[in-house]
Structure 1
């Protein structure tokens, strides 16, 4: 995934889908007691949602004033029980107003991540549960940019080069946002050994939230 330049607030979402927790967590579930939210320099806001059978539960963790210079493992005020079949959705907001070029996902501090490191018991074999947009959906976006927007994207180029080839405007940014929200996922549901849990993890549907949490009550 990537973040276009010049954005006051651009959101990326990472999913730990119910299909993964269903095959990786014990029948009694796990208890999360700590959480470390993580992005790099462009991150300004991070929170993780907890969904069960389409119903949004109490949030797992939130930082509306996130700074990569002040990261900490936070003990949750109340431990959270996550059962097999539950989903976790981590949403990160980024500010790239001072950047002239697209920001790619990666390990460098000038690249970006959207991560929640959770601390829980009992120990399980689940090590990594993370999502990316499916290659098919992303290639369709790049093809649209070439055919209809006259951008220098090409199936001969890699993903990073295609992102960098786009001259970003409001419409192209909005279309990318829509693709990220609607496109199926390529999942990694991995054991500590690095092997994936049994299942088909390509073109996994985005977790539906049929009943979101109501907005917090106003205090004034």
Structure 2
């Protein structure tokens, strides 16, 4: 079948849909997620999502790591985190129970791997509200790394309530949920943003903006995302 809508549901954020289509040029199945008319993610473009976990955990110290991923999506950041043998627990927070349900139903290529790994906990919740709360993600427990891929970028957020997270106060509240020396890493669809890196510098002693380039089969050229890593 060249096209199949695997799920469509109304949510408080709009209508979310998961579809699979056969790309005639690449001859591969492509999984896509839309929120109303906005494309959120595609399995054609997963390099930077994987690099979010790889780059973030590469500078995270420790022999055993407890990790939070904000945004489940197609599961590529979570899957890459599980590739690090030091990860002993992985808590993946997503606002939409429908997305978690897709993986529990095995609708996506990485679903079985994520749900079958005893280190993984899929948690429905508002990442930004949890990050801002004193209790954090698990009864004031601290984590070694927090990896975030929800908004398009710090400037282009999916909901206005997310904007306060990308301020010095918002990031300080997040940092309170990290162990000393812990790492915060963020995916962005935009080029490196000097204003946001200045905000990172107010909160974290060290930070770096990595430009992650990858081939774009739709244009025949190259595209790029940004991964910020702060510790």
TM-score, structure 1 normalization: 0.25
User: Which of the two has higher C-alpha Rg?
Assistant: 1
Higher relative contact order (CA 8 A, sep 6+): 1
Greater helix content: 2
